[in-house]
Chain A
Amino acid sequence: MASATFNLEGTFKVHNLDTAPPTETTATEEELLDYFKTMYTMRRMEITCDNEYKARAIRGFCHLYDGQEAIATGINDAFTQEDSWITSYRCHCVALIRGGSVEKVLAELFGLQNGYTKGKGGSMHFYNKEHNFYGGQGIVGAQVPVGVGLAFANKYKTPEGEHMPVSLSAYGDGAANQGQIWEAANMAALWKLPAIFCCENNSYGMGTSVERHTSNPDGDYYKMGNAIPGVKIDGMNVLSVREGMKFVKEYCASGNGPIYVEMNTYRYHGHSMSDPGTTYRSRDEIAATRSARDPIEFVKKCLIENNMKDEGELKEIEKGIRKEVQKAAKAAKAGPIPPPEELYNYIYAEDGSKEKAEKQKFIRMPQYKNSVHNA
C-alpha cells in the first residue's frame, strides 16, 4: 500500500503546553483517498443545498459548511464513535459523517418523513445518539456547556484512572466571545473533564469580522482558556487536523482536563443562505482562499504529488460522487411529508428510549374544537 510522509511544521501552535502535536505524519493512499471522497461528498452535498434552497425546496435557515470540510473529516478520523461531538447550526457535514447519509440529510432539509429527524428538526437539528452526535444546536454558544456535560457524563461513567471518551464542543469565532463558554471551561478545568473546546475560526461571526467582534487583536481563540492549555491548528489541512486532534484527544482522555483548540478555516458561502457573503468581505478574498487554501485541493495535491492518483482518476471519482449525490437528492425528494399526527409526537419520552414517546392527554390546537385528546 502506497504511503507518504507529510511535513506538518508550522501548522500547529501551542499555549501552556510542554508538548505539541507531531511535526510530520504518514498517510496511506487509502486514507488520503478516503479523506478526498468524504470531503468531496460533503462539498457536493452543500452545493446541492445551495441549489435546492434557491429552488425553494429548503426553507428557513440553511448554514453551509463548504470550505470547512477538513475539520469535520480530520476530527472524525482522530476520534472513535465513543467520543461525543456537539456543534452549532452549521452541522450538515458533521451529521453526515457521524452515522448519516446524504439522502437523510437532504430529506430532512426538504421537511420529509424520511429525513434525519423525521422532518421535526430541519437544518439546525440533526442528532444521532448511537454515533454520539448531539447536534445541531441553534442557539449560538449554548452547545458548549452542553458539550462539557457530555464530557462530565463520560468521566462519571469511567472507572477512575482509565482513559475516558472525550467530548468535543465545536463553535465559531462569533460564539467564542460568549460568557457561557468560559463558565463551562472553568468547571471543566476545576473537575478535570475530558472536554475539548474547538473554535472553528472562519474569520467572521455572520457579517462581523474578527477584528470587529473580538477585542484581542489577534483573535487567539486557543488562548481564551487563560491557564487552560490550547492548540492552534491549520484547519484547511486534514492531516494537521487529524494529528492535532489525536494529540488533543490523548491529553484530555488521560484526565489532564480540558483543552482549547482553534482551527483556522474559511466558509465560501455567506453565514447562511440569506447572506450573500460579499457585503462584508471581497470576492477577491473568497477567490484567493479558494485557490490557495482549499482543503480538497490540498488532499488532491497530496495524492497527485505522491504518485498515488493522477488528475484524470480523481476527476473520475469526482464525477462518480456528483452522480451519487444527485441520486441521493432524488431519493430524498421521493419521501413522504410527515403525517399530521407527527405534530404532537415526541413531546415527552415515556421511558427515555427512542421509539416510546408518552401519549399526550390533551393537545390544544389553534382552534379549540380541533384539540386532540389521548394523542
Chain B
Amino acid sequence: MATIDMPVREALNQAIDEEMERDDAVYIMGEEVAQYQGAYKVTKGLYQKYGERRVIDTPITEMGFTGLAVGSAYKDLKPIVEFMTFNFSMQAIDQIVNSAAKQYYMSAGDISCPIVFRGANGIAAGVAAQHSQCFAAWYSSVPGLKVLAPYSSEDAKGLLKAAIRDPNPVVFLEQELLYGTPFPMSDEAQGKDFVIPIGEAKIEKEGSDVTIVTFSRGVGLSLEAAEELTKKGINAEVINLRTIRPLDRDTILSSIKKTGRVVTVEDGWPQCGVGAEIAAMCMEDDGVFDSLDAPVQRICGADVPMPYALNLEEAAVPQINDIVEACEKATYRGK
C-alpha cells in the first residue's frame, strides 16, 4: 500500500468500522447515525454493514441516550455516543461527568465505563452563538475523563481507535471544518491496528525560537503561521497536543524550556481555557519559569458569543495573522 490522501471523515469512519468489526461489544448510537448515514456522513455505510443492533438511531433526547449508553458501558459494552455537535452535549453533561467520569473513582475500581463521546466541536461557519462553542476547556478540567482532539486524518483514525479501546470515558472532539480536508495516510495508518497512544503530543514541526502549543484547527493555522515566520527568520516549533487530558506535560514543558518562548492557540474562550492552563504550568514549574525569556502569549476565540455576520465571525476567531504577530511579540521582533 502506498500513502494515499484521505479526508478526516473517512478516517473516522474507518476507525469505527474496524473497531466494530474487531469487538462485538462496540456499538454506535446517536441522532441520524444509522439510516441517514450520519449528519456529517462520519457513520456512512455502517448501518448497512452492522444493522440496527449495533448502529442505532436515537430520538432527540441527549440526556436520555447518554445516560443509557453509560449504563450499558457499566455492563461491559463499548458504546460510541455521537453528539451531532458538542453544543448538544450540554443537555447530557451531567451523565458524562457524574455518571461516567467519576464512576470508577466513586466505586473504588468496581465499575469502569469504557465509553466514547464523539462529535463536532467548536466553531463552524455561520452557525452563530448556540452552535459554535468549544468544549475542550470544560471537559478537560474533569478528572476521570480523557479528552482527545485530532487534527489530521492519521490523528483522527489512530486516536479514535485508541479511544474506543480505552476502558475509560473519552471525550473525542472533532472539528467540522476539517471533516472534508484530505491528509496523507501512510501505509501504517491504513492498517487495522493503527493506534496512537493517548497522552502523547506530536511535534508537527521542530523549531528553536518559539513553541506554539495548539490542537485541532489551530494546528493547521499554526503550521501556516510557522511558514510565514520562517520567511521572517523566526523558527517556530509547533506542538499538536492530540490529547487535552491528560496533557503531555513532558513534551510541552521540554519544548518550552528549549525555546524559552510560548504561544498557545485555541478557538475556545479565553477565561479558564487550555491556553490558561499551559500558562499556569509555565509559572509553576521552576525549571520552565527560569527558562522563559518572554511572557506566555495566548491566542483564543474572542470573549463573546459567536456572531453571525461574516466579518464579525472572522474577527471573533483566531487567524494566521494573530499567531504570526504573537510569535513576533514573544521573540521581541514585532511591535
Contacts and interface: CB of A to CB of B under 8 A. Distances in A.
A136 B246 CA distance: 28
Contact of B73 (A142, A149, A154): A149
Given A146-B74, A346-B104, A346-B105, A129 B111 contact: yes
A24 interface: no
Contacts of B249: 361-362
Contacts of B61: 180, 183, 186-187
B167 A350 contact: yes
Contact of B63 (A128, A145, A362): A145
Contact of B107 (A121, A142, A149, A360): A121
A180 B68 CA distance: 10
Contacts of A157: 75, 77
A134 B111 contact: yes
Given A153-B72, A361-B246, A362-B249, A349 B64 contact: no
Interface in B60-89: 61, 63-77
A129 B103 CA distance: 12
A137 interface: yes
Contact of A120 (B27, B95, B105): B105
Contacts of A183: 59, 61, 63-65
B71 A347 contact: no
Given A179-B63, A361-B199, A150 B109 contact: no
Contacts of A142: 67, 94-95, 98-99
Contact of B64 (A134, A136, A187, A368): A187
B98 A153 contact: no
Interface in A117-142: 117-118, 120-121, 125, 127-129, 134-139, 142
Nearest to B249: A362
A355 B146 CA distance: 20
Interface in A196-249: none
Contacts of A151: 71
Contacts of B98: 137-139, 142
Contact of A149 (B63, B72, B94, B104): B72
A143 to B, nearest CB: 8
A137 B58 contact: no
A147 interface: yes
B218 interface: no
Given A145-B64, A349-B104, A349-B168, A139 B71 contact: no
Nearest to B248: A361
Contact of B143 (A139, A191, A347, A354): A347
Interface residues of B, number: 44
A348 B106 contact: no
Interface in B106-160: 106-112, 114, 143-144, 146
Contact of A354 (B68, B106, B110): B110
B283 to A, nearest CB: 9
B53 interface: yes
A354 B110 CA distance: 5
A153 B67 contact: no
A184 B68 CA distance: 7
Interface string B10-35: 00000000000000000100000000
Contact of A127 (B71, B106, B246): B106
Nearest to A181: B64
A156 interface: yes
B245 to A, nearest CB: 10
Contacts of A164: none
A84 interface: yes
Interface centre among B59, B66, B72, B110 (most CB of A within 10 A): B110
Contacts of A121: 106-108
Contacts of A118: 108
Interface string B321-334: 00000000000000
A148 B68 contact: yes
Contacts of A134: 71, 74, 111
Contacts of A357: 104, 109
A125 B74 contact: no
Contacts of B110: 117, 127-129, 354
A154 B77 CA distance: 10
A362 B247 CA distance: 9
B57 to A, nearest CB: 10
Contact of B108 (A117, A135, A348): A117
Contacts of B64: 145, 148, 180, 182-184, 186-187
B114 A145 contact: no
A346 B70 contact: no
A347 B67 contact: no
A80 B104 CA distance: 25
Given A153-B77, A346-B105, 12 more contacts: A120-B108, A135-B107, A144-B67, A148-B64, A149-B68, A153-B76, A182-B64, A187-B68, A345-B109, A349-B167, A357-B104, A361-B249
Closest 9 CB pairs of A and B: A149-B71, A183-B64, A145-B67, A153-B75, A352-B167, A146-B71, A183-B61, A349-B112, A127-B107
Interface of B: 27, 53, 56, 58-59, 61, 63-77, 94-95, 98-99, 104-112, 114, 143-144, 146, 167-168, 199, 246, 249, 284
Interface of A: 84, 86, 117-118, 120-121, 125, 127-129, 134-139, 142, 144-154, 156-157, 167, 179-180, 182-184, 186-187, 190-191, 345-355, 357-358, 360-362, 368
22 contacts: A120-B108, A121-B107, A138-B98, A142-B95, A145-B67, A145-B70, A145-B95, A146-B70, A146-B74, A146-B99, A149-B73, A150-B71, A152-B72, A156-B27, A183-B65, A187-B61, A346-B105, A346-B108, A348-B168, A349-B167, A349-B168, A353-B112
